[in-house]
Amino acid sequence: MPHDHDDHDHNYTQPPSDLELRVKALESLLLEKGLVKADALNTIIDTYETKIGPRNGARVVAKAWVDGDFKKALIEDAGAAVAALGYAGRQGEQLQAVENTPETHNLVVCTLCSCYPWTVLGLPPAWYKSAPYRSRAVSEPRSVMEEFGTELDPNIKIRVWDSTSELRYLVLPMQPLGTENWSEDKLSALVSRNSMIGVELARNPEDIN
Amino acid sequence: MNGGHDLGGRQGLGSIAPEAEDLEPVFHSEWERRVFALTLATGMLGKWNIDESRSARERQHPAVYLQNSYYENWLEGLEKLLVEKGLLAADELLYKEVSVAGAAPELRIPDAEAVLKILQSSGSSTIECEAAPLFNIGDRVKVRKQYSSGHSRAPSYAQGAIGKVIRHNGCHLYPDKVSQGRTIGEHLYTVLFTNQSLWGKTEENAEVCIDLWQPYLSIAAKESG
């Protein structure tokens, strides 16, 4: 990160960067003026750092793999289906699940900013918000996926979803072969965050043993 | 406006070099945590909407927008909104002079409990539209060319291209007006574009779906064809 001077290699204290000072000053100002409350800030951070993350989405996908009725409900109205599992809230209201098939693979991007289904995946990784991903996902998705080590058969069509509205997209990856009798819990370990964005496939059974 | 944020299809921005999924922290430093929390907390004051905050981040020199890290753009947008909406004076932001006046009495400042409620509640961008939708599923539509200085969600790479309507999503708040503080809805469609129509290339077996509001589109051919 260009202006981030966190440096833990030295055993003396680094002076804070201009950026750190600017943020500290802004926070002090807002607290002093009573525009924000300290406990509210801590709650926001704690929620997205420890409570809401891609394990939510992995449980949704695993359930869809084992429960045909849930999968149908998820495809029809993903927002309602995941809310029924307790995953409601910010940036997940109007969720669409897009299902990978042997013919079509789905990939999600937001070329204009960083729209992402927070309720099921948490906050997006840095690369998802980066200029290289946002620019290339729509125009050269195969080379993008290759950067994640994903080689897709050229016969499989890639369908890219550019999240330009308040609709949010969750990729439903294909269930790996050889996991037909697995429990939901065990299956959820195969569902990586990246597979729910679409840059990777679900993990293979041998990858988690 | 087609500023530094309007990135679809731009070339020369380099490789992605993703961090490993299991090793990447949610935040990469303490100041990112604080910027994120301050942005959400002040957003809850109800003085601006999501399109106004996107617009505030976009209104930067493209070179600066691209040079900044993600949360630096958030910080830039937040400072701009705080001043534009009158919550801070520009002088206070320069830390030259701080007035001791507290929050405006009409503002409700959420505490931890209120914040949790807000984070867990679902919102919706759908709204009533009086007029029926102009386009049907299967219609071929062309994305209008647009040269507006305001906030918009019609990505420049799709402007002029022809695609097929694959879904009508109902009537949604229209960002071009909402970013100006107005509550207006328009019909929202999901439109499918071939690689040929967007990029003039067919060698990659891929297509792109984009959510587009009705004013962005004109009819190219009705579905019956």
Query: A72 pLDDT band (50/70/90 cuts)?
Result: very high
Pair B50, B81 in one domain: yes
Which pLDDT does position A13 carry in this prediction? 62
Q: Of A161, A138, A163, which Cα lies nearest the Cα of B9?
A: A138
Any B CB within 8 A of A122 CB: yes
Average confidence score pLDDT of chain B: 93
**pLDDT higher than 90, residue B148:** no
Pair A42, A95 in one domain: no
Pair A87, A171 in one domain: yes
Q: Do B26 and A49 touch (CB under 8 A)?
A: yes
Dist CA B92 CA B32 (whole Å):
21
Dist CA A162 CA A138 (whole Å):
7
Closest residue on chain A to B47 (Cα): A35
Chain B residues within an 8 Å CB radius of A3: 69, 72
Pair A36, A127 in one domain: no
Tell me the CATH number at B53: 1.10.472.20
Q: Do A160 and B204 touch (CB under 8 A)?
A: no
Mean pLDDT score, B156-166: 98
Which pLDDT does position A9 carry in this prediction? 46
Is residue A169 domain-resident?
Answer: yes
Q: Is there a contact between A160 and B193 (Cβ–Cβ < 8 Å)?
A: no
Residue A36's domain spans which residues? 18-50
Pair A91, A183 in one domain: yes
Size of interface A-B (CB pairs under 8 A): 257
**pLDDT higher than 80, residue A91:** no
Pair A80, A158 in one domain: yes
Is residue A62 domain-resident?
Answer: yes
Mean pLDDT score, A132-151: 97
Pair A161, A142 in one domain: yes
Which pLDDT does position B35 carry in this prediction? 98
Tell me how close the Cα of B123 comes to any Cα of chain A, in angstroms. 6
Pair A23, A71 in one domain: no
Q: With pLDDT > 70 as the criterion, what percentage of chain B qualifies?
A: 95
* A139 is an active site residue: no
Count of structural domains within chain B: 2
Q: Do A88 and B121 touch (CB under 8 A)?
A: yes
Is residue B7 domain-resident?
Answer: no
Is residue B18 domain-resident?
Answer: no
**pLDDT higher than 70, residue A93:** no
Chain A residues within an 8 Å CB radius of B109: 34-37, 40
**pLDDT higher than 90, residue B47:** yes
H-assigned helices in chain A: 18-32, 38-46, 54-66, 68-76, 78-84, 118-121, 131-139, 141-147, 184-188, 193-197, 205-208
Is residue B19 domain-resident?
Answer: no
Pair A68, A129 in one domain: yes
CB crowding A92-114: b at 16 or more within 10 Å, else e: bbbbbbbebeeeebbbbbbbbbb
Residue in A129, A157, A165 closest to B205 by CB: A157
Domain endpoint, select from B50, B85, B120: B120
Give one DSSP letter per residue of B64-100, joined into a string. HHHHS-HHHHHHHHHHHHHHHTTSS-HHHHTTS----
Tell me the CATH number at A192: 3.90.330.10
Task: Give the A window 14-53 contacts with B, CB below 8 Å.
Answer: 19-20, 22-27, 29-30, 32-37, 39-45, 47-49, 53
Pair A30, A85 in one domain: no
Mean pLDDT score, A40-58: 96
Which pLDDT does position B99 carry in this prediction? 63
Q: Do A29 and B92 touch (CB under 8 A)?
A: yes
Is residue B23 domain-resident?
Answer: no
Is residue A7 domain-resident?
Answer: no
* A115 is an active site residue: yes
Pair A39, A77 in one domain: no
Is residue B13 domain-resident?
Answer: no
Chain A residues within an 8 Å CB radius of B157: 111, 138-139
Is residue B132 domain-resident?
Answer: no
**pLDDT higher than 50, residue A5:** no
Q: What are phi and psi of A186, to 5 degrees?
A: -70, -40
Q: Which amino acid is at A73?
A: A
Pair A46, A109 in one domain: no
Any B CB within 8 A of A114 CB: yes
Pair A46, A70 in one domain: no
Is residue B55 domain-resident?
Answer: yes
Tell me the CATH number at B150: 2.30.30.50
Is residue B130 domain-resident?
Answer: no
ipTM score assigned to the predicted complex: 0.95
Is residue A139 domain-resident?
Answer: yes
Higher pLDDT, B148 or B5: B5
pLDDT in tens, A173-194: 999 999 999 999 999 999 999 9
Average confidence score pLDDT of chain A: 92
Q: In the sheet that B206-213 helps form, which strands lie side by side, from edge to edge?
A: A104-109, A157-162, B206-213, B185-194, B162-173, B140-143, B217-221
What is the pTM (predicted TM-score) of this model? 0.94
Q: Which two tokens stand for residue A163?
A: 């999240």
**pLDDT higher than 50, residue A134:** yes
Which pLDDT does position B103 carry in this prediction? 66
Pair B35, B109 in one domain: yes
Task: Give the three-state DSSP class for A83.
Answer: helix
Mean pLDDT score, A93-97: 89
Closest residue on chain B to A77 (Cα): B169
- Classify residue B212 by burial, with Cβ atoms within 10 Å: 0-12, 13-18, 19+: buried
Is residue A9 domain-resident?
Answer: no
Q: Which of B6, B97, B120, B122 to mutate to test the interface with A (most CBs of A within 10 A)?
A: B122
Dist CA B43 CA B86 (whole Å):
14
Higher pLDDT, B201 or B86: B86
Is residue A187 domain-resident?
Answer: yes
Q: How far is CA B138 from CA A77, A104, A192, B143, B163, in A?
A: 21, 19, 34, 15, 9
Considering Cα of A29, then A34, then A36, then A39, what sign does the dihedral take?
A: positive
Q: With pLDDT > 90 as the criterion, what percentage of chain A qualifies?
A: 85
Q: Do B67 and A2 touch (CB under 8 A)?
A: yes
Tell me how close the Cα of B210 comes to any Cα of chain A, in angstroms. 5
Residue B206's domain spans which residues? 140-221
Mean pLDDT score, B114-136: 90
- 3-state SS string for A132-176: HHHHHHHHCHHHHHHHCCCCCCCCCEEEEEECCCCCEEEEECCCC
Count of structural domains within chain A: 2
**pLDDT higher than 70, residue B174:** yes
Pair B144, B112 in one domain: no
Q: Do A139 and B153 touch (CB under 8 A)?
A: no
Query: B203 pLDDT band (50/70/90 cuts)?
Result: confident
* A17 is an active site residue: no
Which pLDDT does position A19 carry in this prediction? 92
